Structure 1
Amino acid sequence: MSSVFDSRDADQILTGMRQARLAIGRGELVVLPTDTVYGVGADAFSPTAVQRLLDAKGRGRQQPPPVLVGSTATLAALVETVPEPVQRLVDEFWPGGLTIVLPSQPSLVWDLGETHGTVAVRMPDHRVALALLEETGPLAVSSANLTGEPAAVELEAARSMLGESIEVYLDAGPSTRGVASTIIDATSLVRPGGEDAKVRVLREGAISRDELARVLGDLLDEQP
């Protein structure tokens, strides 16, 4: 049976964080608050847990989940390299609503789905999410909803869709932004043949194209 803990209650959050950490360690799923929308998280290095996440959402391996990290330094451990323009974006927008797709570190042993050798990484700006990530390490996290349904901005919406597929729910009230993160593809800055490399916006969300252009200048692809 799923457990729900209110992170705004000092006693509940201590118990909730402990139960969430244990659940992640067992390969179970946890719903956690972020600065954008609620997310459902699993151990990024457990293929069984990641598949459980995809199954809970009704999602195929062709839609691999992003990975949330608890510090900017962790990015360098998960990707092949961090190009200078990407570092500028990280300095400007992390923690926050920007997900960055880069070639993944080849030495990592994980299976997030059909990633084609890439990984989408974000550092959320939420105290509960960051505290959990500090204890668990990187988590595969996707929005806490069934595929095709609106992302959950309140815990009860996530519970109504995901139900008992989740071991622990961490409640922090309504999401502060209620808008999904912006996703950018920066792989062309790393892979060969990148003289005309551009950063592409895959999904516009919490960070606008204008904000990205302010940091990237001509490196931002003009195509929406």
Structure 2
Amino acid sequence: MQHDQNVSVNGGTEVIKYFASVGIFDQDGMYDNINFKRYNFRSNTDARINKNLVVKLGLEGRQENSNNPGFDAGSIFAAVLRQNPTYSILNSDGSYFNTTGEHPVAMYESTGYNRNVWNVFQGSLSFEHKLSFITEGLSLNGLYSIYKDRLFNKTFFTPYTMYDVNPAGQVTGTKLVGNQTSLNQRYQESDQQFYNLSVNYDRKFGKHEVREFWFTKSITLPGIHFSLTGSSFFPTSKMNYLHLGLKIRT
């Protein structure tokens, strides 16, 4: 199932013009426990301060949330292709049938989750100031832009068990897929800034055209990466917190 909704407004006068929009996108996958959701906004404002100066402001942001099973889609579909078409999915008691290999349904139903929350913000402020009082075609232009993103990932993996069940409903054997329950949490952030200041000259002399600009500068700030992993033992799959794992590494 998929939902995509957007609302936008725009208008203005000769002095100021504006545009703004907000939206939400929500999409489920072709099997359970997979979903993608995005919230976004955008706005643009152009203002003519006087006949020579124009200022523009642009803002944009979004949050993307994704939820997936413990196994990725490639692994699940590969397991589907390897399955014997005569095998059952479930035993008579509702437990997972022992395929002796992987079980595609268990892989997306009972192996935990992989969740991401990604926040992104972008903004820019620019101006153009015509310097025609000095000479025709001369202008001063400036731009400042900023980009920020924050990503939080939490992956909780749990093994699953398949069962051999005889006609009487008795369990005669089991197979555990996955060595241990594990939890990984990762956070990273990135900040970038860019600014540009230039003097531009653009003028035609008969059939000849002259275009020049001078000076530009940019700066990028380093991002932060942080990761923690807990593994080996969790007392319950319902309490997925790092301090419950016996092994923790950074």
* Smaller-chain TM-score bracket: under 0.3
Structure that is richer in helix per residue: 1
Return the index of the structure with the highest Cα Rg: 2
Give me the TM-score of the superposition, normalised by structure 2. Answer: 0.19
Q: Which has the higher contact order (CA 8 A, sep 6+)?
A: 1
Give me the TM-score of the superposition, normalised by structure 1. Answer: 0.21
